[in-house]
Copies of this chain bind each other. A is one copy, B any other.
Amino acid sequence: MTGPRTGNAVVGQAGGPTAVINQSLVGIIQEVQKYNHIGRLLGARHGVRGIINEQFYDLKRQPTNMLELVAQTPAAALGATRDKPDEEYCERIFKVFTKFDVRYFFYIGGNDSAQTARIVNRIAADAKYELRVIHVPKTIDNDLLVTDHCPGYGSAAKFVASAFIGDNLDNRALQGVKINILMGRNAGFLTAASILARQRPDDGPHLVYLPERPFNIDKFVSDVEAVYDRYGRCVVAVSEGIVDEAGELWAKKVSILKSDSVQKDPHGNIELSAGAGSLADYLAGALRAKCKSIKRVRADTFGYLQRSFPGVYSEVDAWEARLVGQMAVSYSLDADQDGSVALVRLPSTTYTVGTKLVPLAEVAPDKPPFTTVVPDEYINEAGNNVLNSFREYVGPLVGDLPKVGWFEQISPS
Query: Which residues of A come within 8 Å of B, CB atoms?
Result: 13, 16-17, 40, 42-43, 45-46, 54-59, 61-62, 66-82, 162-163, 165-167, 169-170, 172-175, 178, 258, 260-261, 263, 271, 273-275, 277-278, 280-281, 284-285, 288-289, 297-305, 307-312, 402-407, 409-411, 413
Residues in B whose Cβ lies below 8 Å from that of A13: 173
Enumerate chain B residues within 8 angstroms of A162, measured Cβ to Cβ: 309-311
In the bound complex, residues from chain B placing their C-beta under 8 Å from that of A301 are 277, 300-301, 303
Q: Which of B57, B73, B258, B407 contacts A59 (CB 8 A)?
A: B407
**CB pair A58 B312 closer than 8 Å:** no
How many copies of this chain are found per oligomer?
A: 2
B288 touches A277 (CB 8 A): no
Within 8 Å CB of A411, what residues of B? 40, 42, 56-58
With contact pairs A300-B301, A301-B300, A310-B165 given, residues A74 and B17 touching in the complex (Cβ less than 8 Å): no
B407 & A166 in contact (Cβ 8 Å cutoff): no
CB distance from A239 to the nearest CB of B (A): 16
Q: Which residues of B contact A261 (CB under 8 A)?
A: 285, 288-289
CB atoms of B69 and A17 under 8 A apart: no
Picked from B74, B172, B277, B303, the residue with its CB within 8 Å of the CB of A75 is B172
- A79 contacts across to B, CB distance below 8 A: 172-175
Contacts of A309 in B (CB 8 A): 162-163, 166
Q: How many angstroms between the C-alpha atoms of A310 and B298 in the bound complex?
A: 19
User: Please, could you name 27 A-B residue pairs with CB atoms under 8 Å apart, sorted by A?
Assistant: A13-B173, A43-B407, A46-B175, A55-B413, A61-B409, A69-B403, A69-B405, A73-B169, A73-B406, A76-B173, A77-B406, A78-B407, A79-B172, A79-B175, A165-B310, A166-B305, A166-B308, A170-B307, A258-B281, A274-B297, A277-B278, A277-B281, A277-B300, A277-B301, A301-B301, A302-B303, A302-B305
How long is the Cα–Cα vector from A69 to B117 in the complex, in angstroms? 49
Extra contacts, 13 of them, besides A74-B169, A258-B281, A277-B281 (Cβ < 8 A), are A43-B407, A46-B175, A56-B413, A69-B405, A75-B169, A79-B172, A79-B173, A79-B174, A166-B309, A260-B285, A300-B305, A301-B301, A312-B312
